[in-house]
Amino acid sequence: MSIIGTTVSLKKATIKKYARHLAALGCTFKVIEDDGTEHGTLVATAPTKGRADVIGRIDYKTALAKLAVGELIELPIPEGLTGVTVQSTVSACANAMYGAGAITSSVNRKTNRLEVLRLQ
């Protein structure tokens, strides 16, 4: 047997051994080897997206770039997004453009718009 074959069989044996130990301990896990061999009972699913994608749904960058000190703009909140999501995204962009504390914003629930005021 060649050295490469020994390495592969040692690797497979090691994975099999530790998979047995994990199962005996009552762990839920999933190990997928290079060749597709699976060990464990955990059902793997695709990761979920942690936050809503505001980019492409509303053009806030152009409006922020044109915003002068003391000027107020109102940005529509697209359907399917929450005011807090849009506010967070716009605030992060404004902080990158103008620095922390340069804007203040509030969600107007009556008009479903985000009001943004540039302070500095």
Residue 53: inside a domain, yes or no? no
Q: What is the pLDDT of residue 88?
A: 92
User: What is the extent of the structural domain holding 19?
Assistant: 3-39
29-84 residue pLDDT tens: 988 888 888 898 888 777 655 555 666 778 888 999 999 999 999 999 988 888 99
Confidence of residue 109 (pLDDT cuts 50, 70, 90): very high
How do beta strands 113-118 and 72-76 pair? antiparallel
Q: Are residues 32 and 69 in the same domain?
A: no
Q: Are residues 29 and 72 in the same domain?
A: no
Q: What is the pLDDT of residue 54?
A: 67
Q: Are residues 64 and 113 in the same domain?
A: yes
Q: Are residues 69 and 28 in the same domain?
A: no
Per the CB < 8 A criterion, the answer to whether 40 and 29 are in contact is: yes
Q: Are residues 68 and 114 in the same domain?
A: yes
Q: Are residues 33 and 73 in the same domain?
A: no
Residue 106: inside a domain, yes or no? yes
Q: Are residues 107 and 65 in the same domain?
A: yes
Q: What is the pLDDT of residue 51?
A: 52
Residue 51: inside a domain, yes or no? no
Q: What is the pLDDT of residue 102?
A: 94
Round the average pLDDT of the chain to a whole number and report it: 86
Q: Are residues 64 and 114 in the same domain?
A: yes
Using a 10 angstrom Cβ sphere, with 0-12 exposed, 13-18 middle and 19 or more buried, the burial of residue 90 is: buried
How many domains, in total, are found in the chain? Answer: 2
Q: Are residues 73 and 110 in the same domain?
A: yes
Q: Which residue has the higher pLDDT, 47 or 120?
A: 120
Instruction: Give me the sign of the Cα torsion angle 10, 12, 17, 18.
Output: positive
3-state secondary structure of 50: coil
Residue 18: inside a domain, yes or no? yes
Q: Are residues 71 and 35 in the same domain?
A: no
Residue 49: inside a domain, yes or no? no
